[in-house]
Structure 1
Amino acid sequence: MIRRTWFAAAALALAAAPFQAQAGIVIDYASGFSGACGSGLTCVGDTSVNGSALRLTPAGIGQAGAGYSTTAITLGAGATFSTSFQFQLTQPGGIAPADGITFVLAQGTSGLGGAGGGMGYQGVGNSVAIEFDTYWNNFDPNSNHVGVDSNGSLSSSIWASPYGVTNCDFGSNSYLADGCMSNGKVWSAFINYDGTTQKLNVSVQQQGMALVQLITDYSIDIASILGTTDAHVGFTAATGSGLENHDILSWQLANDTSIVGPGTVPEPADLALLSLAGVAALWAGRRRRS
C-alpha cells in the first residue's frame, strides 16, 4: 500500500512540475512592475508604471508607448526563449477598442514605432513581434487576433483568433464577450521558441477559461531576423481614434524553453530533470517518515 501511494504521489508531483519557476529565467516581473521604468526597463512614449502594472498606453486618443529591457538579453542557442505574461485591456472608447499590444524582440534600442494601427511597433527594424490585436485595420484579418510580425511590419505571417472569436467592437457590445481580448478580463500569454528547431508556439488563456494554443510549431528563423541572439525584449502598444488602457500585469522571460503554459508538456530534457527532482524529493520524504 505504501509503495502504491508513493508512486501516485510521484505522478502528482510530475504533473505539477511545469507550473514551477525554472532556472533559466532572466527577466522576472512576476510580482509586478513597481520601480521598473528606469531600473531594468526603458519606458518611452506614453508608457509608465500605474500601480504595479506596466501601462503601455492610457485610454486616450493617439497614444503610443513601449517598455523594453534597457540592456540586451542573451537568449539561448539560435535565439531560444520562452516567456509568459498577463495583460488586461480596459476602458475602451472612441470608435472601437484599439489597438492592442505586441511582445517584441529587437536588435536595437529605439523601441517605439508608429501609433494607431502601428501598435507602437511599425517601423522597428531587425525585430520579431507577437501582436495581440484588437482593431480591424485594412491590413488585418479581423478585430481580435494574435499574429507573428517581423521587421516592423504589421502584416502578420501567421495569425489566429482566441477561442475562434473574430468580431469584438462596440456593436451590440460584442467586445465584452468571452474570447475578446478587449473584454477587460485578465489574459495570460505563453510564447515558446526553440532556436534549434526554429519552431514558435503561442498560447493564450482568458481568466476563467481553458488554455488554447493558437500558433503551433511555426517555422521562423528569429536569430537571422534579429541579426543577433542578444535582444532587447519588451512590449509596445498604441491607440488611434479607438482606445483602451494597455496594461501588462506581470512578466517572466527565460533563455531556454522551460516556461510552459498550464496543461502543456515541457521539453524532454526539462521533463527528465523535473522527474529526477520530484522522485528524489519524494524518496527523501519517505525516508524521513520511516
Structure 2
Amino acid sequence: MFRVCRRYCGADAVGLGIPGAEAMPFLVKPLLAAMANALFPARCLGCRQLFHRQAARAKEDGSEKSDAGRALADYFCPVCSGQWTAVASPLCSRCGMVFKSRVGPDHFCGRCLERPGTFTRARAAGAYDGTLQLAIQALKFKGHTHLANPLGRLLYATYRHYWLDGDIDLIAPVPLHRRRFRRRGFNQALLLVKAWPLSGEVVMVRDLLARNRPTPPQTGLDRRQRRINIKNAFGVSRPGESVGKRVLLVDDVLTTGATAEACATALLKDGAKRVDVLTLARA
C-alpha cells in the first residue's frame, strides 16, 4: 500500500483502483498526497537532510519571496528554500544589475552609460547564489529536468511582474549548439518556458535563433573574453520572423550579458523592433 501511495499520489485516483475513486477524486488525491508526504519525506537538494514537503510549503506561504519559495519547496527544506537573494530595486534600469547601495531609485549603471549595448533591458528573479544557484546547476549540469517546472513557474512570475500585456510579441529561448544539445540532451532555456500559459498575442518560438558555431564555456572568462568568444555565434533561423516584433530572450543566467548582446544583435539585424532579456538569475 505504501508503495502504491508513493508512486501514484500525484496521479488520477482512478488509476489506484480505489473503490469509488471516480466519484470523489477530489478527496482521494489530496489524502494520498498527504500520506506520501508523511511516510516518504524528501531529501533536500541543498543540505541533503530529509524533510516534509508540507512543512516547507507552509513556511513559504508567508514569505516575501513566496514565488520562489513555493516553486522550490518540494526540493529544498524550509531552511534552505529561503537561502537565496531576490532581485530588488535599486538596480540598473537597463542591465538589471543590483546596486550595492540599497538606497535610491533605479538608474543606469556606469557600464551601461558608457556602452548601452543592443538589448533594451534585462531582468532576473534572483541573484546567482544560494538555493537558486543550486537549483539551476542541478537542472543544467546534473540533468534534474524535473526542476524545469518549478523554476519555469518562478520565471513566469518574474515575466508577469516586469512586462505588461502587449509589451512582448515573441519569446525566444537562447539556443544551444547542436553538439552541446546532443551531450546535454535538452536546452534548459526551452524547458523553462515551454509550459508557460501564454495568451494568443504572445508566441513562443523555440527556434527563432540558431547557434551557428560551438563555443567554449563562458565560465572563467572576463567580459572582453566572453564578448570575443561569443562574437558571431548566433544567427536567425527564421529570417524575417522578428521584423517589427518586440522579442523577449530567455535564458537561465545573465553574467556579463555577452550572450544576450550577441543574440540581440542578430535579432535587430533581422528587423526586430526591440529585444529584452529575462533570466532566472543575475550573476
Given the two structures, how large is their TM-score scaled by the length of structure 1? 0.25
- Greater strand percent: which structure? 1
Could you say which structure has the greater relative contact order, defined with CA pairs below 8 angstroms and 6 or more residues apart?
A: 1
More helix by share: 2
